[in-house]
Amino acid sequence: MDSQNSEVMETYYVSHGSPMLPLEETPATQFFKGLGNSIKQKPKAILVVSGHWNTRELMVNSGAKHSTIHDFYGFPRELYQLRYDAPGAPEVAKRVQELLQEAGYKSVEDPKRGLDHGAWIPLLLMYPKADIPVIQLSLQPQKDGLHHYNVGRALAPLTKEGVLIIGSGTTTHNLRSIGSYETTPTWAKAFDSWLNDALINGRFDEVIHYLEKGPHAETAHPTPDHFVPLLVALGAAGEGAKTKRVHHSWELQTMSMASFSFTPVASS
């Protein structure tokens, strides 16, 4: 890909929370509506790593067009009528494959898979015109945090090629806890606060090994799928990346909607 005239892109981890996000007016909704405009350079393409695509091996959806996957149930009818018809980015998918293979990873193209709600719901609010090509990369929840961080490191050249890399999960994600609390519980606050402090102060090794280092980590994330997208985005920003928390709010008492930007250190 041509990297001329492209500034180095920041990478992002965003908390997408409930699928109801586009139909509600919450602090997180307002954040996403403003996020696209806050990114100075319009991306040539967007690569999303979502907590809702989990595979055995790394996979990239490489089709020229994407379906809108409504991978949830029990919500209002109008939510299922929403579509996000952004084009695919086959050439970027090939570039992703190339970078992963150079780093020693096996990866597979999937030309038929569309965009799951971890991808299209944030993008619907960020870039409602759906005029920026989008691809997704899958996660491997059976592998650890270091694996996902290193996958991000392999993708770091994309930040110099006009590709916006977004990890999409939720900062605290324990669906079994929803409806069990009238106020935000101590375990959720503790994990949320630890993560912010560790990221801001560059303690990335702690974040990579969050299950051992993070307070109440297994309660905050009974499964890894909504946390490890952060590690891919962090890895793609490179060593020494600067972190900024760009949003913070709570939904349903236990879901932290904290979102972060990671700014790569300029190379000489």
pLDDT digits over 99-122, tens only?
999 999 988 999 999 999 999 999
How confident is the model over 144-163, as a mean pLDDT? 98
In the predicted structure, residue 8 carries a pLDDT above the cut 60:
yes
How confident is the model over 234-263, as a mean pLDDT? 97
Tokens linked to 173? 């994600």
Nearest to 235 by CA among 163, 148, 166: 148
pLDDT value at residue 179? 86
pLDDT value at residue 1? 57
**Across the strands, what pairs with 115?**
68
In the predicted structure, residue 85 carries a pLDDT above the cut 90:
yes
DSSP 169-197: E-SS--GGGTTS-SS--HHHHHHHHHHHH
pLDDT value at residue 6? 65
Write the pLDDT tens digit of every residue in 30-46. 999 999 999 989 999 99
Per the CB < 8 A criterion, the answer to whether 120 and 68 are in contact is yes
pLDDT value at residue 105? 95
Nearest to 227 by CA among 158, 148, 122, 120: 148
Write the pLDDT tens digit of every residue in 193-208. 999 999 999 999 999 9
Per the CB < 8 A criterion, the answer to whether 23 and 76 are in contact is yes
Share of the chain above pLDDT 90, in %: 93
Q: Which regions of 97-237 does DSSP assign to beta strands (E)?
A: 107-110, 134-139, 163-169
In the predicted structure, residue 74 carries a pLDDT above the cut 60:
yes
Can you tell me the distance from the alpha carbon of 45 to that of 144, in angstroms, rounded to the nearest whole number? 28
Q: Which amino acid is at 198?
A: A
DSSP 30-43: HHHHHHHHHSSSPP
Task: Name the average pLDDT for the chain.
Answer: 95
Per the CB < 8 A criterion, the answer to whether 133 and 87 are in contact is yes
In the predicted structure, residue 267 carries a pLDDT above the cut 70:
no
pLDDT value at residue 244? 98
> How far does Cα 263 stand from its chain's mean position?
15
Q: Which of 6-10, 122-126, 135-139, 164-168 has the lowest mean pLDDT?
A: 6-10
Per the CB < 8 A criterion, the answer to whether 236 and 11 are in contact is yes
In the predicted structure, residue 268 carries a pLDDT above the cut 50:
no
Nearest to 139 by CA among 233, 252, 31, 266: 233
Write the pLDDT tens digit of every residue in 215-228. 999 999 999 999 99
In the predicted structure, residue 261 carries a pLDDT above the cut 50:
yes
